[in-house]
Chain A
Amino acid sequence: MALLYRVTGSSWRAGRRLWLVLLLGPLSTAPLYGQARDSLCGAALQSLQPRDLGSTCRSLSAFIVDALTEARFAPGSKGAGKVAPRDVQPAASGDAGGAGSLAQGEAVPGVRPVALAGGTVSAVGTDAGTRAMTSIALNPLVLLGDLNDPKAVAGPSRFADLTLLLPVDKLDANHDGRIDYFGVRSRINVLGIKAGSELFKDVEAAADSAMVHDVKLAVLIRHALENAPEGGVKQCAEALLKATPGATITSEHCGAPVSFDLDTAAVAKLREKTRTLREAADRDYFGLDLRFDTGDPTLGDSLGRDATSLLAGLAWGRKLTGTGGTEVGLKLRLGARYVSLRDTSATKLGADGGLGFELTRRLNEQTIRIDAGFEFGYGNADKALEVPLQTDFLTFRGSLSIPLANSTNVTVTLSAPVHGDQSPTLSISGNWAMLFSALAPAKR
């Protein structure tokens, strides 16, 4: 109004101001036009979806894009209700193989728990002779729930377990009147796959591709809404919502004809990548490795080696590659170990860790595993106490695990000291684990 008032002057400057009005006029009225159009879009959106979802043509166009594309993300191809507990049992659950004991069945122990329960019986050859050990592992969280309900067992079967280790023969080999050794283990897996891996990058690239298409579609739809006749915004939106992808909409309510297509391939690829990522995450682990031992962990017959030890550490594992059922994995662990000798006042706190690789080959539901790695301990103990404290060593260990039948396998493990006064060992372990029911629960 102020500009129009000035134009009414009679001086030569008035003519110049008239040009100014003509030049600025479209700019000054454009926002008013946009706001008015937004209010029409907002009213149309309100009538199509009563919830408060915005009041602009951007909101309405995004609403239409979502209505047209949402079904691609959730096509209803997933099963619902016909799932048996065994379907959700982790493919890579752990054995009850006493980490840190003579019966250790992995080069570097991980923290994958047993899914339900399992056991191991091991024959071990050491410098002190032949010994036999057993370990029993339970997943207490699973046992507390309904074992026939897949939803009750899926999470706990991946989370934590407890293992009890005991010698089977010569319970009191050193004749001190006490059971020579027992140990307790707990593995807590909190899942360790981290952003930055190739799998995450694949997912994100696929999501980017799907978004490129949808943003273009949103812009196209917004332009149609903005160019629709004033009284036809809602009808234009309704015509777009009913549109068949690939078809051209020639509704008079949208002004000019509108044509678009939906990129189903991009979303299908995104869904495939997220599925791969989810499955890969289930094969990795990250968590706590907790160990308690009392007695002589070497099961020897020498006096003065009884100790109480506590270990708390972190363990991480990842499958590096996976083609044709063969996978290569990396395993790391690092923790602190406190040892207190029973017969003296000697105590020691040291570092304890390991690095190993494993090669697994999956055949149907069974897995052959070969692994190798180094484990170390460092406590800088006095030379005379290195043997009983077992804090300063470097050991190479390799193992081969062959499946016998579903959920049972035999593992042969060889360890050889590289540094420190430890006995080489050769163990043969029979491992057994319970499987969940293969029957889907009846509908309740």
Chain B
Amino acid sequence: MFRGPIKKNGKVTATFSADFSNTGVGAMVTTNGPETGQPSSQSAVIAPGGTNQTNMTLGPDGLYRIFVDVKEASDGGRLKVVVNGKERDADIIKGDTTWLYSIE
């Protein structure tokens, strides 16, 4: 899902809190893709009931993507994005999810 623009050169923290009722471990990978230069990614695994996060500094342009991969379509949790210490997005997600931002 496209979530809108995100602040360029911002420090972004993506946090996934998995539901305790999830049927297995989930994985989250976040990628900063600048228009020039190589992308960089960070990944984390999240046990049912657990919380984990990734931290990265964005570039001046391009795309920022969060991909959460869970075991079953009915698994989910709460995904939160904080930019420069301020909450940018937070929502309940279900099943495999992508959030895409344009870095501006």
Roughly how many angstroms separate A335 CA and B40 CA in the complex, as a whole number? 38
B4 at interface (Cβ–Cβ under 8 A)?
yes
A274–B28 Cα distance when bound, in Å, is 8
Contact between chains at B27 and A215 (CB < 8 Å): no
Query: In the complex, are the beta carbons of B27 and A277 less than 8 A apart?
Result: yes
- Which residues in A have their C-beta under 8 angstroms from that of B97? 73-74
Cα A195 to Cα B72 with chains together (Å): 23
Contacts of B62 in A (CB 8 A): 215, 218
CB distance from B21 to the nearest CB of A (A): 4
**8 A Cβ contacts from B48-87 to A:** 48-50, 61-63, 65, 67, 69, 71-74
A62-B2, A74-B96, A154-B48 known; A211-B63 Cβ under 8 A: yes
| Inter-subunit contact B33/A67 (CB<8 Å) | no
Evaluate whether A65 and B104 lie within 8 angstroms (CB atoms) in the complex, with A218-B63, A282-B24 already known.
Answer: no
Which of chain A's residues 77-121 have a Cβ closer than 8 Å to chain B? 78-81, 83, 87-88
Taking CB atoms, residues of chain B closer than 8 Å to A49 are 2
CB <8 Å contact, B21 and A154 = yes
In the bound complex, do residue B23 and residue A203 qualify as a contact, i.e. CB atoms below 8 Å apart? no
B-side interface residues, number (CB < 8 Å): 50
The reply to whether B22 and A278 form a contact with Cβ atoms under 8 Å apart is no
Indicate the member of B20, B25, B44, B104 with the most A CB atoms within 10 Å.
B25
Query: Please, how many residues of chain A have a CB less than 8 angstroms from a CB on the other chain?
Result: 59
* Cα-based distance from A346 to B7 in the complex (angstroms): 63
Instruction: Name the CB-closest residue of A to B33.
Output: A211
Contact of A271 among B4, B22, B69, B102 (CB under 8 A): B69
| B2→A190 contact, CB < 8 A | no
The interface-forming segment of A19-27, A52-60, A126-134 is: A52-60
Q: Which residues on B are within 8 Å of A, measured CB to CB?
A: 1-5, 19-27, 29, 31, 33-35, 38-45, 47-50, 61-63, 65, 67, 69, 71-74, 95-98, 100-104
